[in-house]
Structure 1
């Protein structure tokens, strides 16, 4: 059965059984009807996914791989902060009349910085180091830029990636591992979406840098289940996990900037019934 499902079920049970409630606190998020959106939360959740064993996409319900990949590429490849460059509508609530989400996400990854090797943005710097100095302990990105927070329509949730390369005994190819740091996460709406996105990113960067994908470690400071999501989560984690699908990444692509959402797919992906109409706190 899917290891990602087991990890998700264990996390949700831990939050529900051992988490703390924000009910009665002064909370920022609201439901569409204006009601405060309270949560049950756990601090410091850490989940590990071995990408060499399976692709960590849930089978309990379907995760839209191509849409998740499209958003990832919107941020990391196109370095865009405009929803008109995105195929889905998941960012519409945070966009202004021109489609901009402010100096957030892709905008920050596209800012060029001065390094001793020249001017590069953060994505190009990661690729440069993976190819030229793979055992560096300084290969990382950060989009939580305090000086620009007042110009962001939403503060970054998944804000930092740290890459680390290892050499497995007896293997010629290096292994690419990564840590995703996230300050806050809506577990029902976004957990597997983010896991899938950054698993795809590790696979893509590994391929273009001549490596193999290793571990993705997901660190969530505030992992929470919203009050109106609790019955949905309880039903979801009662479902039986199914076998994990196989992941395919177009082997012909050797340049990160040439990947499209059509260069990824999962085969033999069988899932439980999709959950429709999940309420989203804004």
Structure 2
């Protein structure tokens, strides 16, 4: 099996067997029929993926890696908050009539801030430091901006990235690692989608900085499985598993802003069948 399969299976079993139920408590999410959406959850789940060994895609079911890539480009490269700049429809229910999701996600990454070196947004600051100050312990982003929360259609779930550079004794290149902080995650609907997204982001930043992509550490404050998802998860983690796919970026790309979805290749991705019509609590 892929390493990501093992991580996912162990995490789901732990949540179901040892998690805390919110049934009967005051919760915000509701199902489409208006009933409250309760969860079984674990606090402080930490998963680690080594990208030097394999790409962290599960094979229990197919993760839309190219669609995940398109969304991470929408947020981090286009710095857009408008779904008309996105090829998938996963954000449609949170957008207004003009396609905007408010001052969320890409909007925050595009806001320029004043530094000693000049005005830069958060993405350009990361790229600047990776080039000029790779051993800095201050290379990070944060899109959970309290003053703008009231103008966001959805509070950011994956809200912070911290980048850290190391060097292996036998390697001529530096290694770029990252911590993804997430306040909340719907494990069935979003876990591997987010893992693949931020693995790809790490790969892109490493490539344009002349580094090797290393470890992605994923910290989830509230990792939960919704009550109506539990039977689906139990069936999913009982499935046959396969080897991880081979995922590559176009090695000719040298600027982060030149990447397109066509620069991503996914090979030998063998998976179980997709789970269709997963109910989503909002």
Tell me which interval the TM-score lies in, with the shorter structure as reference length.
Answer: over 0.9
Ranges in structure 1 where 5+ consecutive residues have no aligned partner: none
Q: CA deviation at 1:265?
A: 2.1
Per the TM alignment, residue 247 of structure 1 is displaced from its structure 2 partner at its CA by 1.2
Question: 1:191, 1:3 → 2: CA distance?
Answer: 14
Structure 1 residue 240 displacement after superposition: 2.0
Cα deviation 1:78-127 (Å, max 9, x = unaligned)? 00000111001100111111111000000000000000000000000000
SS for the counterpart of 1:217 is: strand
The reply on whether 1:218 has 2:218 as its aligned counterpart is: yes
Which residue is equivalent to 1:88?
A: 88
Counterparts in 2 of 1:93-242, with a 5 A limit? Answer: 93-242=93-242
Q: 2:47 maps to what in 1?
A: 47
Once residues 250 and 35 of structure 2 are traced to their aligned partners in structure 1, the CA distance between those partners, rounded to angstroms, is: 46
Which string of whole-angstrom CA distances, capped at 9 and with x for unpartnered residues, describes residues 155-207 of structure 1?
00000000000010111100000000000000000000000000000000000
SS at match of 1:68: helix
* Residue 262 of structure 1, CA deviation: 1.5
After superposition, the C-alpha distances for 1:48-97 in whole angstroms (9 at most, x for unaligned) are: 00000000011000000111011100000000000111001100111111
TM-score (norm 1): 0.99
Q: Is residue 2:93 matched to residue 1:78?
A: no
Match of 1:32 in 2: 32
Question: Deviations 1:240-275 (Å, cap 9, x if unpaired)?
Answer: 221111111100111000101121122111001111
Moved over 3 A (4+): none
Corresponding residue SS for 2:179: strand
Q: Retained in 2: the 8 A contact 1:158–1:182? A: yes
Contact 1:104 1:143 in 2 (8 A): yes
Question: What is the match of residue 20 of structure 1?
Answer: 20
Q: Distance in 2 between matches of 1:142 and 1:177?
A: 17
Structure 1 equivalent of residue 56 of structure 2: 56
What is the alpha-carbon distance in structure 2 between the residues aligned to residue 153 and residue 83 of structure 1? Answer: 12
Measured in 1, the distance between the counterparts of 2:86 and 2:69 equals 11
Q: How many residues align?
A: 282
Q: Structure 2: 5+ residue runs without aligned partners?
A: none
Whether the aligned pair in 2 keeps the contact of 1:164 and 1:178 (CA below 8 Å) is yes
In structure 1, the partner of 2:260 is: 260
| 1:236-251 alignment, distance < 5 Å | 236-251=236-251
| Alpha-carbon separation, structure 1, partners of 2:247 and 2:150 | 39
